[in-house]
Structure 1
């Protein structure tokens, strides 16, 4: 996910789209951790951006499932 993508873009996504986006971000997070461990990471702030984006998506997923069950 690009850092310019906002919360409003995520809220209009379906549950499947959110799951796909979450999978992409987790792969990116793994690659960033690997780059950090090998000393090849140049943009260190991207690690925290990805973590926050993952948290946003998980929060939206929980709120959508809670509203669907209520």
Structure 2
């Protein structure tokens, strides 16, 4: 997901997206712990997406 796509969203939508990403991260961590995760790069991608969403939320909060 690109930062430009995230900037177009409202803060409520970003919070919803953040919750979905956190659930996905939890799921991937559980798969990693049980050795069911085949693509370890997914975990890093989700972490970066979470960071992007939090950064955009913080930017929108500072703009007010």
What's the RMSD between the two structures over aligned residues?
A: 0.6
Could you tell me which runs of 5 or more consecutive residues in structure 2 were left unpaired when the two chains were aligned: none
Matches of 1:53 and 1:37 in 2, distance apart?
21
Match of 1:11 among 3, 7, 12: 7
Paired residues in the alignment total 64
TM-score with structure 2 setting the length = 0.97
Equivalence for 1:66: 62
The question of 1:22 aligning with 2:18 is answered: yes
Matches of 1:62 and 1:9 in 2, distance apart?
16
TM-score with structure 1 setting the length = 0.89
Matches of 2:2 and 2:59 in 1, distance apart?
17
Q: After the TM superposition, which parts of structure 1 deviate over 2 Å for at least 4 consecutive aligned residues? A: none
Could you tell me which runs of 5 or more consecutive residues in structure 1 were left unpaired when the two chains were aligned: none
